[in-house]
Amino acid sequence: MTRWISHLISRTVGLAAGFAAGMALTCHSAAAQDVQELKIGLLATLSGPAAVYGEHMRDGFMLAVEQSNGALGGLPTNVIVVDDKLDPDNALEQATKLIEENGVDLIVGVNFSKVMLAVHDPIVRSKTLFIGTHSGPAPIAGRNCSRYFFSTASQDDQVHETMGRYASLKGYQDVVTIAPDYEAARDAVAAFRRHFKGQIARELFPKLGQTDFSDEFKQIEEIEPDAIFTFMPGGMGVELVKQFHTSGLKGIVPFLSSDTVNAITLPYTAEMAEGLYSASHWAPNLDNPANKRFVREFSKAYKYEPSVYAAQGYDAAKLIHFALELTGGIKDQEALISAISAAPFESVRGDFRFNSNQFPIQDFYIVEGVRRTSKLYEMEAVARVFDDVGDAYAGSCRM
């Protein structure tokens, strides 16, 4: 009898131990299943001559992910980076795959307007949260705004408007504008005119891809304007700056630009861009703790100097991180939208909040190309033109 009781007790204890071990394993599996993974699709131009813009934006975003130990808002974060190839059809295909095949929780990115106009409506119609990090064409800031879209950049017109306002504040009466002959560039000139109170002496529209501006500079010499305003991105802008430097006009006619003299082009123009002006909502010398940390750690991590494109990508990741800390996860999308709307983070540009169309209300500056060392050139904010300003299209936004 005693042996039988001992055997029964031993068997019961063994069953209990096995049951407990099984329960522990089950609970562990359930807990593992409850751990949320954050999936983000990052859509950027990463091939061809314009790849540098996407690389800056990607690197800025990934720096903030790394600063959170790979877990934005405490959630293990999987960033799926795709190249839109500056092709609207390819961009739409990639965005569709991110949503339907990869099941991303958010999409971030987009450098260029023609890509943004192709992907914006399909993404927001799918009710996927979308945070733009550069391109902000008028339709998505106005009549086609969406509660599922936020921007950590600016509306496209605002840098051009800033330079128009600056030209008026300087008292310039006659300005020659020069921009490539395509729609976005003509929009840039129109935005400049919106805040410029003087006269446009002449509008020059060289062919897209043109690299010889001798005829344009000859016309400028004949007109003798108070200033030049140019929107000339990429390689065209580099050539324009080089030829302006040798034209004899530098130091005589002020050179005002947008998306022409910036951190992307400075390595190619160097001392030729010294003293030339552009407009921006960010510069590396903005005096706030978040910006100082960003500039320091970006340069250390990537061995090159950050641009506004990197800063906008970085802010997007910081926005997501702190919004998720407020919500505690991604399951409640409405709560996440509300948290993002509150912009609960310290932006590298200082003052930052969202307008009614979910584009930023922020400051805009005149920035100047300056020499830091024998090899290092940066953009430096030298004057604030707009303080806490929203864009011109927010009043047309009806969410």
Q: What residues form DSSP beta bridges with 199?
A: 174
Residue with the larger pLDDT of the pair 359 and 26: 359
What SS3 state is found at 388?
A: strand
Q: Domain spanning 38-154+285-361: which CATH class is it, in words?
A: alpha beta
Confidence of residue 34 (pLDDT cuts 50, 70, 90): low
228: pLDDT strictly greater than 90: yes
Pick from 60, 13, 3, 70: nearest CA to 37? 70
The answer to pTM > 0.95 is no
Nearest to 178 by CA among 253, 126, 263: 253
Q: Are 85 and 57 in contact (CB under 8 A)?
A: no
Range 158-280 has CATH code 3.30.70.20:
no
DSSP 73: G
Q: Do domains 38-154+285-361 and 158-280 have the same CATH topology?
A: yes
Q: What's the pLDDT score for residue 8? A: 35
Distance between CA atoms of residues 293 and 318, nearest Å: 13
With a cut of 60, say whether residue 5 has pLDDT above it. no
pLDDT in tens, 75-110: 999 999 999 999 999 999 999 999 999 999 999 999
Domain limits, the chain: 38-154+285-361, 158-280
Q: List the Cα angle 98/310/103 in 5-degree steps.
A: 10
